[in-house]
Amino acid sequence: MQIETRLNLKLLNTFGVDATAATAVRVRHAGEVRDLLRNRQLCAQPRLILGGGSNVLFTRDWPGLVVLPDIREREVEAGAGDAVTVIGGAGEPWDGFVHWTLGLGLAGLENLALIPGTVGAAPIQNIGAYGVELRDRLLWVETFDWIRGRLQTHYNADCQFGYRDSVFKRELADRLVTRVAFRLSRKPELELDYGEIRQELADRSIHAPAPRDVADAVSAIRRRKLPDPAVIGNAGSFFRNPVVSEAQAAYLRNQHPTMPQFVAYGGVKLPAGWLIEACGWKGRREGDAGVHASHALVLVNHGDATGGQIWVLAQQVRDSVSQTFGVTLEPEVRVV
């Protein structure tokens, strides 16, 4: 078990903001987590689990222990018929894992290509893109229970998945995800009707796409729309798309006829990026904290912004949308 003190987290969060962890532990398998439990001094500290750092904003140093899951594992289990179960360790980079499954000739994760982060973080957020959500493909999640000192398996129905939500963001927020299993297929059933996928494939003269073609198309679309964290610090979409009641949606549609609206979980989903852009925030910046010039839903670090400065900007954007539309935006990014 690798223990570090005063670990700088700048390279461990895609916003690229300076923050320091008092102590950090890198775990490579579940046995090391049990070793950690035996260290009472470490376990007495406030605990934060940090995966790929692609969905977190540090507004201050972390005064306790940061756990860095680095469990690397890839496993294939034969299934019935065309179904195949694949298992990934929590520390596996998500996009690399997706392309590994495609290399095995398995379909199911292609629409989720190029999403940043790790396999372990994917079910926490119930990541989704281009008509597919993780819960559509997930079989089970294995977590480590700190209180009981043992592993527990949570099947799909146990995970309470919602829009960018799961039980791992609420009741089980302190659990360490160790492994995740997916049910994929040798027989592709491609989802092509969301966004620009069909057009991207047509532009590439691909008329009978394979899963890898879909992944390449999705990746190209994402690269055009979203800034690369290696170039400019960001965590992708900062806010969730709000879901409002049908009555509120009708009122807003009457007041703002051009506002896009979509049927969603328990109501009507509004595009947060449209709301932010309509309030005039697209491309604006306060010092080195800014709203991206091409995608209003993405807050960026132009260089030396602190996490606190980015969070102040986020609150200004949230308050502006609330005052204009009566809609409250909630961060999709975890704010520390």
Domain match, 190 and 277 both: no
Do 201 and 285 fall within a single domain? Answer: no
CATH number at residue 111: 3.30.465.10
- Could you tell me if 17 and 148 lie in one domain? no
Distance, in Å, from the CA atom of 155 to the CA atom of 142, rounded to the nearest integer, reads: 9
pLDDT band (50, 70, 90) for residue 220? very high
- Position 265 scores a pLDDT of 74
Q: Are residues 53 and 118 in the same domain?
A: no
Specify the pTM.
0.90
Q: Give the residue numbers spanning the domain of 205.
A: 74-225
Determine what percent of the chain is predicted with pLDDT higher than 90.
88
Residue 243 and residue 318 in one domain: yes
Query: Of 69, 91, 115, which residue is a domain's last?
Result: 69
**Of 36, 69, 102, which residue is a domain's last?**
69
Q: What are the φ and ψ backbone dihedral angles of 311, each rounded to 5 degrees?
A: -70, -40
Beta bridge partners of 106: none
Q: What CATH number is attached to the domain comprising 18?
A: 3.30.43.10
Cα–Cα distance, 61 to 67 (Å, whole number): 15
* Mean pLDDT score across all residues of the chain: 95
Q: What is the mean pLDDT of residues 142-166?
A: 93
Torsion of CA 223, 227, 229, 232, to 10 degrees: 150
Backbone region of residue 236 per phi and psi (left: phi > 0; alpha: psi in -120 to 50; beta: other values): left
Residues 206 and 94 in one domain: yes
Long-range Cβ pairs for the range 289-294 (8 Å, 24+): 289/313, 291/317, 292/227, 292/232, 292/234, 294/225, 294/227
What percent of the chain clears pLDDT 70, i.e. is strictly above it?
A: 100
Burial zone of 195 (CB within 10 Å; 0-12 exposed, 13-18 middle, 19+ buried): middle
Domain count for the chain, please give it. Answer: 3
Q: For residues 6 and 57, state if they share a domain.
A: yes
- Residue range 236-292, pLDDT digits in tens: 999 999 999 999 999 999 999 999 999 887 899 999 999 999 999 999 999 999 999
Domain end point (choices 171, 196, 225): 225
d(CA 251, CA 228): 37
Is residue 105 domain-shared with residue 173, that is, in the same domain? yes
Q: What is the rounded average pLDDT of the residues 174-181?
A: 96
For residues 40 and 168, membership in a common domain is answered with no
Mean pLDDT of 136-154: 94
Which of the residues are catalytic? 164, 237, 332
**Same-domain pairing of 221 and 299:** no
Cα→Cα distances 331→113, 272, 299, 311, Å: 23, 11, 11, 10
CATH number, domain with residue 265 = 3.90.78.10
Q: Please check whether residues 96 and 63 belong to one and the same domain.
A: no
Q: Are residues 173 and 195 in the same domain?
A: yes
